[in-house]
């Protein structure tokens, strides 16, 4: 073999020997599985501090898994960037030993300006550190893309071209980077950005002034339903709350099947039975009703369906515990009717009671708790601004005097939130109900 040929073969062997091994990636987590006693933390900025999408996700778990005592903790602070979340990591997150932590940051990290590499570098560094720290405490991180910046809403509000016209595209870039980081680490992931942008685009085909985000940054209740639905869609994947299927076997004999519940004591003439559901439908407070409709949330995540096959043609009255909740044609009942859509349905009323109590919990306890953490951040910024200045000692003294008040308030509002949680778990258990389907009078 010639010397040149030997050198060529040696070079090829060296090239293969130097080639790095193929990367090994972890499977992506695609489902939240919360068990009795688990803690779920929502980490974020002012959009999490609003206590809305967090509240609606809590409502889902309270009603869908009433037998599991799941603890929720909101860790959102207005104005936060990833570096701020790191500053309060131990005392406002790690101490609760969460099983899952959703992360909604990025809106402030981009500085509301065009893309700047140094700003993005800081976001990458701090977000990567945050993900590392969550792994160290064995918490399953679920990063979520930044939400939508609505430049059109900003134009409508300001009457002029905003300085951050292109900021929504900056957030898209941040979200794309975060997605790759999440998948590379084998984490869960939620796309908040696309549902908000896509639904807004669809609605602006009908109404050019439509917006879910009046101030361009903070979605209102209807927008936050879309955010909650994104979490459920990407990480929970729920189906119907329950389904009752009744069919005529022969003559006056009826048979029943049920999903997520139990049918018993079937009688005929008129058709009667008892049903005990395992869970309640997902119902939200009235201020979120438009977002609930826009996302088809009931159909996708909270349906309580009744289907009766074999009725004679005509109109029928559906009664639950002696209360008529609706009138339907036999053909409609054969297709299936959504009982959760009736505000007279006892399961719907019970689920709304849970949602309203949780709204009170968030308004009167959780939001006030988050306000305290926001105040602490402001105080710490003051200390940093006056470090090595003539009045540094004065500010340190003021902070030391204020800190006991902060700790007292934190304890007070946390205890209040826990007490509300106890009350919620006392009223979220489904009850057995008596159903009767009979020909509607006057029809």
The DSSP result for 266-311, as a single string, is EETTTEEEEEEESS------GGGHHHHHHTTHIIIII-EEEEEESP
Task: Tell whether 118 and 184 lie within a shared domain.
Answer: yes
CB atoms within 10 A of CB 45: 26
Task: Tell whether 313 and 365 lie within a shared domain.
Answer: no
Q: How many domains, in total, are found in the chain? A: 3
What domain range is 414 assigned to? Answer: 350-427
Task: Tell whether 102 and 214 lie within a shared domain.
Answer: yes
State how far the alpha carbon of 24 is from the alpha carbons of 21, 184, 185, 186, 415, in Å.
9, 9, 10, 11, 45
Task: Tell whether 264 and 358 lie within a shared domain.
Answer: no
Domain finish residue from 203, 236, 269: 236
DSSP letters of 329-366? EHHHHHH-EEGGG-TTSHHHHHHHHHHHHHHHHIIIII
- Is 302 a domain residue? yes
Nearest one of 124, 78, 131 to 102, comparing CA atoms: 131
Task: Tell whether 221 and 199 lie within a shared domain.
Answer: yes
| Whole-number CA gyration radius for the chain | 27
Task: Tell whether 44 and 126 lie within a shared domain.
Answer: yes
pLDDT at 157: 82
- Is 136 a domain residue? yes
- Is 28 a domain residue? no
Task: Tell whether 44 and 156 lie within a shared domain.
Answer: yes
Domain finish residue from 236, 252, 269: 236
Q: What's 130's domain CATH number?
A: 3.40.50.1110
Give the residue carrying structure tokens 């201020």: 287
Pairing of strands 100-104, 271-277: unpaired
Sign of torsion over alpha carbons 285, 286, 291, 296: positive
Q: Backbone phi, then psi, for 27, in 5-degree steps?
A: -60, 145
- Is 108 a domain residue? yes
pLDDT at 156: 87
Task: Answer whether 158's CB lies under 8 Å from 214's CB.
Answer: no
Sign of torsion over alpha carbons 205, 206, 212, 214: positive
Q: Backbone phi, then psi, for 208, in 5-degree steps?
A: -60, -20
Task: Tell whether 230 and 93 lie within a shared domain.
Answer: yes
- Is 12 a domain residue? no
Task: Tell whether 104 and 224 lie within a shared domain.
Answer: yes
Domain finish residue from 208, 236, 264: 236
Task: Tell whether 264 and 357 lie within a shared domain.
Answer: no
CB proximity list for 428: less than 8 A, separation 6 or greater: 62, 63, 66, 280, 350, 354
Nearest one of 247, 126, 403, 349 to 395, comparing CA atoms: 403
Write out the two tokens for 240. Answer: 């119907």
| Alpha-carbon span 254 to 15, nearest angstrom | 75
Task: Tell whether 328 and 389 lie within a shared domain.
Answer: no
- Is 6 a domain residue? no
Classify 146 as helix, strand or coil: coil
pLDDT at 308: 97
Low-confidence ranges of the chain (pLDDT < 70): 1-23, 159-163, 443
pLDDT at 23: 66
CB atoms within 10 A of CB 416: 16
Using a 10 angstrom Cβ sphere, with 0-12 exposed, 13-18 middle and 19 or more buried, the burial of residue 214 is middle
Task: Answer whether 34's CB lies under 8 Å from 99's CB.
Answer: yes
| Alpha-carbon span 352 to 367, nearest angstrom | 20
pLDDT at 21: 60
Using a 10 angstrom Cβ sphere, with 0-12 exposed, 13-18 middle and 19 or more buried, the burial of residue 269 is exposed
Task: Tell whether 397 and 259 lie within a shared domain.
Answer: no
pLDDT tens-digit map of 232-279: 999 998 888 999 999 999 888 999 999 999 999 999 989 999 999 999
- Is 25 a domain residue? no
Nearest one of 355, 414, 363 to 64, comparing CA atoms: 355
pLDDT at 12: 46
- Is 129 a domain residue? yes
């Amino acid at each position: 073999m010639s010397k040149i040929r030997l050198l060529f073969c040696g070079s090829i062997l060296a090239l293969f020997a130097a080639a790095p091994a193929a990367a090994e990636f972890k499977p992506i987590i695609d489902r939240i599985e919360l068990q009795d006693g688990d803690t779920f933390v929502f980490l974020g900025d002012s959009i999490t501090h609003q206590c809305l999408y967090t509240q609606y996700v809590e409502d889902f778990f309270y009603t869908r898994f009433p037998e599991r005592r799941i603890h929720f903790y909101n860790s959102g602070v207005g104005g936060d960037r990833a570096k701020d979340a790191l500053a309060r990591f131990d005392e406002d997150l790690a101490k609760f030993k969460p099983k899952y932590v959703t992360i909604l940051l990025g809106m402030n990290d981009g500085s509301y300006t065009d893309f700047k590499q140094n700003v993005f570098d800081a976001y990458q560094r701090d977000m990567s550190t945050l993900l590392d720290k969550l792994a160290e405490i064995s918490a399953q991180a679920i990063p979520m893309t930044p939400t939508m910046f609505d430049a059109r809403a900003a134009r409508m509000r300001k009457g002029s071209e905003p300085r951050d016209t292109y900021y929504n595209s900056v957030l898209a870039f941040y979200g794309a980077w975060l997605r790759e980081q999440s998948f590379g680490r084998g984490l869960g992931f939620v796309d908040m950005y696309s549902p908000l942008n896509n639904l807004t685009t669809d609605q602006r085909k009908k109404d050019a002034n439509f917006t879910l985000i009046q101030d361009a940054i903070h979605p209102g209740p209807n927008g936050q339903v879309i955010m909650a639905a994104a979490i459920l869609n990407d990480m929970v994947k729920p189906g119907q709350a329950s389904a009752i299927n009744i069919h005529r076997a022969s003559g006056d004999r009826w048979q029943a099947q049920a999903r997520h519940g139990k049918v018993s004591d079937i009688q005929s003439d008129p058709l009667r039975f008892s049903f005990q559901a395992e869970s309640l439908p997902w119902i939200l407070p009235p201020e979120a009703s438009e977002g609930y409709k826009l996302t088809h949330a009931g159909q996708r995540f909270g349906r309580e369906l009744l289907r009766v096959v074999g009725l004679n043609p005509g109109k029928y009255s559906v009664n639950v515990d002696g209360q008529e909740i609706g009138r339907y044609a036999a053909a409609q009942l054969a297709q299936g009717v959504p009982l959760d859509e009736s505000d007279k349905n006892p399961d719907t009323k019970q689920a709304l009671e849970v949602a309203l109590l949780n709204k009170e919990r968030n308004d009167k306890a959780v939001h006030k708790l988050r306000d305290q953490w926001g105040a602490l951040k402001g105080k710490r910024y003051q200390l940093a601004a006056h470090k090595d200045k003539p009045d540094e000692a004065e500010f340190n003294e003021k902070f030391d005097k204020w800190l006991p008040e902060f700790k007292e308030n934190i304890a007070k509002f946390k205890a209040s939130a826990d007490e509300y949680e106890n009350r919620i778990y006392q009223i979220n258990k489904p009850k057995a109900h008596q159903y009767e389907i009979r020909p509607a009078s006057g029809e």
